[in-house]
Amino acid sequence: MKFFEHFGQYLLMLRALFVRPEQMRMYWRETLRQMDDIGVGSFLIIAVVSLFIGAVTAVQTAYQIFGNSLVPGYYLGWIVRDTTILELAPTFSCLILAGKAGSNMSSELGNMRISEQIDALEIMGISTEAYLVGPRILASVIVIPMLVAIASFLSIIGGYAATIASGYVTSGEFIQGLLTSFRGYNVQLMLIKAVVFAFLIASVSSYQGFYVKGGSIELGQASTRAVVYSCILILFSDYIIAVIALS
C-alpha cells in the first residue's frame, strides 16, 4: 500500500507540472540555472570517467580477443564503438549523474521544504511543482543527452589512445573498426536511453526532496533514496529499452 501511495503522489506531481506559467521569464531563468548546474557542473567528472572507461574497455577487450590470432585487429575498434554507444556511455554517465545531480536536486528541494520556502511560494499562489520541479526535469532532458553524447566520444578517444599506446593495433586498424558496419540507429538508441534516464533521475530525485518530512536526518535519507531509486530505475529501464529496441 505504501508503494501505491507514493506512486500515486508521484503521478500527481507530474500532472501538476502541466500548468500555465505565471511568468515565463522566471521559469526560463530557473531552467537555465539548472542546465548550468547539471551540465557544466557535471562535465569534468563525466569527461574523466568516460576517458578511463573507454581505455579500460579497449585494453580488456584486446586481452580477450587477441589470444586468437585469427581475429582481425580492426575488430577492437568495432567492439569499443558499439559497446560504448549502446551501453557504457548512457548507462555509466547517468548512474554517475544520479549520484551527483540527483542527490543535489533532492537535497535542494528538501531543504526548501524543511525551511518552509515551498510553503511560502504556495501561499503566494505559485504552482511550486511547475516552478521547482518542471525546470529541473526540462533541464535534465536537454542537458543529459548532450553529456552522454560527449561521454561516448571521449570513451572512444580513450579507447583509441589506450590501444595505440599499448601497441595492440595500429591507428588505421582501430579507425577501420570504428567505420565498419556503423549504424546510425545505435546513436538514436543511445539518445533515447539518455532522455529516459534523464527524466527518471530528475523526477524521482525531485519527488524525494519535494515531499520530504522531518529534519536533517530525513533529508539525508531522502537524498539516499533518490540516488538508490534512480539507479535501480535506470538499470531496469535500460533492460526494457534493450529488449524492445533490439529484439
pTM: 0.91
The DSSP H or E segment spanning 111 is helix 103-114
Domain ranges (residues) in the chain: 41-246
DSSP state of 120: H
**pLDDT category of residue 43 using cuts at 50, 70 and 90:** very high
Let me know: does 30 contact 135? Beta carbons within 8 Å: yes
Let me know: does 98 contact 210? Beta carbons within 8 Å: no
Let me know: does 79 contact 173? Beta carbons within 8 Å: no
> In the prediction, which pLDDT does 94 show?
94
The C-alpha cell that represents 60 in the structure block: 580488456
Angle at 103 between CA 126 and CA 197, to 5 degrees: 90
At 144-171, the pLDDT tens digits run 999 999 999 999 999 999 988 888 888 8
